[in-house]
């Protein structure tokens, strides 16, 4: 049958068929990367039995460098480049992974000077109900803006900080957030010219140069536009799913805060490093 690409439910993102990530060919790798450029959120189902090396190799299709997450205690025992997301605990009550990786809208690592290019997840265990991941296509949301709003946002910059959304990890000192960084409100993909909105509710503190009231009002208007349903979808996981997304052109949210603790979910995660300061 060869490689086939079909829309994910709701027309956001794409599913890639006909590729085995245990041994992707050169053409397979090119097809995956092109689908990533074209659709921003991609899924490959039925990838059972992948090893950590397989997952890291698949991740490097999207970018050559991977980076460890700041939550060091949730690194996979075989490599710090792979993080374990899980709500399971061992017999001593110790967490086997990070239970909630972010049940709030965000773009991974937007709080660094060089943010993450992409993220990849591989599902080893999923519940029969719940545990979905929500996605918002920020490139489609940009295209749907009125021309006057596009003109208003052109050239604006925003301040990002990891601790903008309060979390226990910052109170305990387990994680020290990096200093504020500044990114364009509208990013342009240098490979295809695609423009996308690059602010998110969790890490974007304010629009630079604006009074805070005006900045908050503008952010709220943008987020209401992005989250009105036309640009969002809920991804239902199956064991063996590999899902990856462009962090410059999408935001996402976990729903594990609502997951029944008797329903287990275990996923491996990689972060593909950015290749330069956003433009």
Tell me: the pLDDT tens digits for 86-126? 999 988 888 999 998 889 999 999 999 999 999 999 999 99
**Taking the alpha carbons of 225, 227, 228, 229 in that order, is the dihedral positive or negative?**
positive
Predicted confidence band of residue 1 (pLDDT cuts 50, 70, 90)? low
Say if 207 falls within a structural domain: yes
Say if 126 falls within a structural domain: yes
8 Å CB contact between 13 and 43 = yes
Say if 278 falls within a structural domain: no
Q: Which one is predicted more confidently, 165 or 53?
A: 53
Look at residue 216 in the predicted model and tell me its pLDDT.
98
Name the average pLDDT for the chain: 95
Q: What percent of the chain has pLDDT over 90?
A: 86
Say if 279 falls within a structural domain: no
DSSP per residue over the chain, as a string? ---EEEEPGGGSSEEEES--TTS--HHHHHHHHHHHHHHSEEEE---TT--HHHHHHHHTTT-S-EE--S-GGGEETTEEEEEEEE--B-TTS-BSSBS-S-SS-B-TTTTSSS--SEEEEEEEE--SS---EEEEEHHHHHHTS-HHHHHHHTT-EEEE-GGGS--HHHHHTSSPPPPPEEEESEEE-TTT--EEE---TTTEEEETTS-HHHHHHHHHHHHHHHTSSTTEEEEPP-TT-EEEEETTSEEEEE-GGGS-TTS--EEEEEEEPPSSS--
Looking at the predicted structure, is the pLDDT value of residue 251 above 90? yes
How far is Cα of residue 59 from the mean position of the Cα atoms in its chain?
13
Q: Which one is predicted more confidently, 1 or 45?
A: 45
Identify the CATH number of the domain in which residue 241 sits: 3.60.130.10
- Token pair listed for 192: 């295809």
Q: Where does residue 123 rank: exposed (0-12), middle (13-18), buried (19+ CB within 10 A)?
A: buried
Say if 277 falls within a structural domain: no
Say if 167 falls within a structural domain: yes
Count of domains forming the chain: 1
Looking at the predicted structure, is the pLDDT value of residue 269 above 70? yes
Looking at the predicted structure, is the pLDDT value of residue 68 above 80? yes
Give 119-172 pLDDT, tens digit per residue.
Answer: 999 999 999 999 999 999 999 999 999 999 999 999 999 999 998 877 777 778
Domain interval for residue 109: 4-272
Say if 260 falls within a structural domain: yes
Range 141-175 burial, b when 16+ CB lie within 10 A, else e: bbebbeeeeeeebeebebbbbbbbeebeeeeeeeb
Mean pLDDT, residues 230-256 taken together:
97
Mean pLDDT, residues 182-202 taken together:
97
Looking at the predicted structure, is the pLDDT value of residue 209 above 90? yes
Look at residue 234 in the predicted model and tell me its pLDDT.
96
Say if 109 falls within a structural domain: yes
């Amino acid at each position: 049958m060869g490689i086939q690409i079909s829309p994910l439910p709701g027309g956001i993102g794409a599913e890639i068929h006909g590729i085995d990530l245990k041994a992707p060919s050169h053409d397979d790798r090119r097809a995956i990367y092109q689908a990533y450029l074209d659709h921003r959120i991609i899924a490959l189902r039925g990838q059972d039995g992948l090893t950590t090396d397989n997952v890291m190799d698949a991740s490097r299709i999207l970018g050559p460098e991977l980076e460890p997450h700041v939550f060091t205690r949730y690194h996979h025992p075989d490599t710090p480049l792979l993080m374990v997301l899980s709500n399971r605990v061992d017999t001593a009550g110790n967490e086997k992974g990070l239970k909630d990786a972010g049940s709030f809208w965000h773009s991974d690592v937007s709080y660094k000077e060089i943010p993450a290019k992409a993220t990849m997840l591989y599902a080893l265990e999923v519940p029969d109900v719940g545990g979905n991941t929500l996605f918002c296509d920020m490139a489609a949301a940009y295209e749907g803006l009125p021309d006057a709003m596009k003109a208003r946002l052109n050239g604006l910059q925003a301040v990002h900080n990891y601790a903008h959304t309060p979390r226990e990890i910052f109170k305990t000192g387990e994680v020290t957030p990096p200093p504020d960084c500044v990114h364009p409100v509208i990013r342009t993909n240098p490979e295809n010219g695609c423009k996308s909105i690059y602010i998110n509710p969790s890490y974007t503190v304010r629009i630079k140069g604006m009074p805070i009231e005006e900045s908050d009002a503008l952010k709220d208007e943008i987020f209401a536009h992005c989250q009105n349903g036309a640009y969002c979808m809920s991804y239902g996981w199956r064991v063996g799913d590999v899902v990856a997304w462009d962090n410059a052109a999408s935001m996402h949210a976990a729903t594990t805060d609502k997951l029944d603790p008797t329903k287990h979910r275990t996923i491996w995660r990689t972060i593909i490093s950015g290749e330069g300061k956003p433009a």
